[in-house]
Structure 1
């Protein structure tokens, strides 16, 4: 069976805001609602990293509110990174000052893209689902941003498991806000063909990575050749990258 190697990247970009230490959450909180700061420079650095990959999943990408200067950051990164295809899923709007979205950048043309709101105690989380290739044997890529609370994560992972349970070639990536061995993650492994990661790569906080909470999970038929973390400009998360061998028939 012939395979095609794809390079994937998952990045929580914090809307281009800078966080380099815990104190910045308080002292630089203004950057999360105002357009000041070097957000455009951060986006350009993220675009440079993203452009070396085939498919990119984004979390906390601003879809065009005051803090981003009304720039759709997913679209901007697609243009700057050389991606022919992009989609975004706005999830949360804070009074018009700040908005947040999941995003997908791709150099491969998806057959279809769907977005789904996720359940949870607080609204504003979602999963973006893209399908490549034809039929049930094609490649499905899901981008999600899960809640901080374990109870909400459990219901969200149950929902995602329903979406992906019958997909033999699936990838789920994003900010899970939890380690891969948490109890709520087990239902995902039991009810889908997704596998726990063979290698846990710490991604948070970016200035002293201690927790593996950003993941790229794959089904057993997709072979992960490499996984590593990169700085996503000055976000509080590192971006996680993987090289994955996908059967060519899943992309046709």
Structure 2
């Protein structure tokens, strides 16, 4: 007889702090939106909240924790309230003089038993991984949210650090903006040291207006059964979000 499972709906999204980027030229012509609160950021956040509302666990990258450009709004908290999540946590990791800040975020309908905040190594500081545990023992579900560096050397050190965090967690999910494809050499440390598996289906997510690079991922342990995966717009972010449904052993959530 098969052990009982529970289906969880996951989402990871780099929300670009609610800014709009619809073409490469916007990085120059709309650069002001990364420092000023003007624009349609609130309506973008509302669209992201609507997308998140159908999920059980959501990982966010580039969520502003409350600086000038967001109108001093903690965007993770705002999304949790708008999308009806009882549990949320955020990890501020990059601050630019009070004008702009960036954070990893977690929204959950399940109550975590523990949330950990880890700084990631790298040539330039300001990257982190947010780790939440569900269930009371080693077999519990562990969910990590990360935003990795652009540089290969820093990414390699960061992935090695994350692999050490997850090596003793048999039921794990790692989601986020990896800034690299899943088959890159630096990714192999995850597959060697943990039970995380390469994605069975590559889903291009960047740039959002003409996606041809799969750099946003949800990786799951071999004990977790993937049911579906797709890329979906995260308002007008330059990344598409990744949505996935997985079957989790019921005892991993007790």
- Say yes or no: TM over 0.5: yes
- Measured in 1, the distance between the counterparts of 2:116 and 2:169 equals 15
Q: Within the alignment, does 1:6 sit opposite 2:11 as a pair? A: no
Cα shift readout 1:168-212 (whole Å, capped 9, x = no counterpart): 100000000000000000011001110000001000000000000
Matched ranges for 1:93-172 at <5 A: 93-172=95-174
Cα shift readout 1:89-115 (whole Å, capped 9, x = no counterpart): 000000100000000000000001001
How does the TM-score come out when normalised to structure 2?
A: 0.99
Q: What stretches of structure 1 move > 6 A for 4+ residues in a row? A: none
Q: Deviation at 1:166?
A: 1.2
- Measured in 2, the distance between the counterparts of 1:156 and 1:139 equals 21
How does the TM-score come out when normalised to structure 1?
A: 1.00
Q: Report the equivalent of 1:236.
A: 238
Q: Report the equivalent of 2:215.
A: 213
Q: How many residues align?
A: 252
- Measured in 1, the distance between the counterparts of 2:149 and 2:191 equals 18
- Measured in 2, the distance between the counterparts of 1:233 and 1:107 equals 22
Structure 2 segments unaligned to the other structure (5+ residues): none
Q: Within the alignment, does 1:63 sit opposite 2:104 as a pair? A: no
Q: Report the equivalent of 2:76.
A: 74
Secondary structure of the structure 1 residue equivalent to 2:101:
strand
Query: For 2:204, which of 202, 214, 227 is the aligned residue?
Result: 202
Secondary structure of the structure 1 residue equivalent to 2:47:
helix
Q: Calculate the aligned-residue CA RMSD, in Å.
A: 0.3
- Measured in 1, the distance between the counterparts of 2:239 and 2:35 equals 19
Q: Report the equivalent of 1:226.
A: 228
- Measured in 1, the distance between the counterparts of 2:225 and 2:111 equals 22
- Measured in 2, the distance between the counterparts of 1:206 and 1:147 equals 19
Structure 1 segments unaligned to the other structure (5+ residues): none
- Measured in 2, the distance between the counterparts of 1:166 and 1:133 equals 14
Query: For 2:190, which of 188, 191, 204 is the aligned residue?
Result: 188
- Measured in 2, the distance between the counterparts of 1:200 and 1:132 equals 27
